[in-house]
Amino acid sequence: MSNHYHLVVKLVPDRAKKWSDDEVLSRWAALYRGPLLMQRYREGDALSPAEQDGLASIVSVFRKRLTSLSWFMKCLNEPIARQANREDSCTGHFWEARFRSQALASDRAVIAAMAYVDLNPVRAGIAQTPEESAFTSLRARLEEAARDSRRNRLYGRRLMPFADELGAEALPIRQQEYLRLIDIAGRSALRGKRGRISRRTDPILERLGLSQDEWVESAIRFESTIRQGDLRTAKSA
């Protein structure tokens, strides 16, 4: 949006406990250079017992930060603020206040939050349809699917896959079900919101060139999955 953004993030704090010390340092080095002691260790220098103890303390701190929402937001907001200040030739605080977060304790809450974020530009009158929005995960997913999948194999996925895509962790809904949900919700008028998808606009599956037969088959599989109680839970915050 013009003065803020929304983000749905999955937190898995226990995952960091399984990382080796070297993996923790490697992940941190992808963000920052790190202290000199860390740099020396990663370059293969021999460390004294006291230095090894110091490195262990550093790893402990970094392990917590790598699964911290606050540190994630710091890593995201700081470069945005620096870039904006350079563009405006100014200094000082860029963000008005600290970020606000809301825990999403159910699959329903996760999907509702995703739909709210993807439809935000439409509600604000910035875009006519969600796939035309410049900075939404929905558009990013569609562009990602259209590109060569080789990039995903090399660099990994940027966004969590839907239930009908490959992935150890997935969202509790299939892609075409989510697209239809977005289309239905986007056509509804909301009090205080001026934008919505025009009733004259074709359904999203037709706009994207997805066949109705494919969607029906997907819907049947989705309903079967629900009956079998096979949906994976997305614990998000």
| 8 Å CB contact between 208 and 179 | yes
> Does residue 82 sit within a domain?
no
Is residue 102 assigned to a domain?
no
Are 163 and 213 in the same domain? yes
Asked whether the predicted pLDDT for residue 228 surpasses 90, the reply is no
Shared-domain flag, residues 124 and 59: no
Residue 67 clears pLDDT 70, i.e. is over it: yes
Residue 98 domain flag: no
pLDDT at residue 214 in the model: 52
Q: For residue 141, what are the CA distances in angstroms to 3, 138, 161, 213?
A: 23, 5, 9, 21
Q: Report the greatest alpha carbon distance in the chain.
A: 72
Q: Are residues 113 and 44 in the same domain?
A: no
Model-level pTM greater than 0.75? no
Q: Is 59 domain-assigned?
A: yes
| Number of domains comprising the chain | 2
| Residue at 36 is within a domain | yes
Q: What digits encode the pLDDT tens for the residues 187-227?
A: 887 777 778 888 788 777 777 776 555 544 544 444 444 34
**Does residue 155 share a domain with residue 55?**
no
Same domain, 114 and 219: yes
pLDDT at 219: 43
- Do 117 and 217 sit in the same domain of this protein? yes
> What pLDDT does residue 213 have?
56
The confidence score (pLDDT) of residue 27 equals: 95
Tell me, what's the pLDDT at 65?
Answer: 95
55 and 118 housed in the same domain: no
Q: Based on the fold, state whether residues 113 and 29 are members of the same structural domain.
A: no
User: Has residue 163 got a pLDDT over 60?
Assistant: yes
In the predicted model, what is the mean pLDDT of residues 79-108?
91
Average pLDDT over residues 134-159: 66
Whether the pLDDT of residue 108 is over 80: the answer is yes
Q: Residue 44 is part of which domain span?
A: 13-65
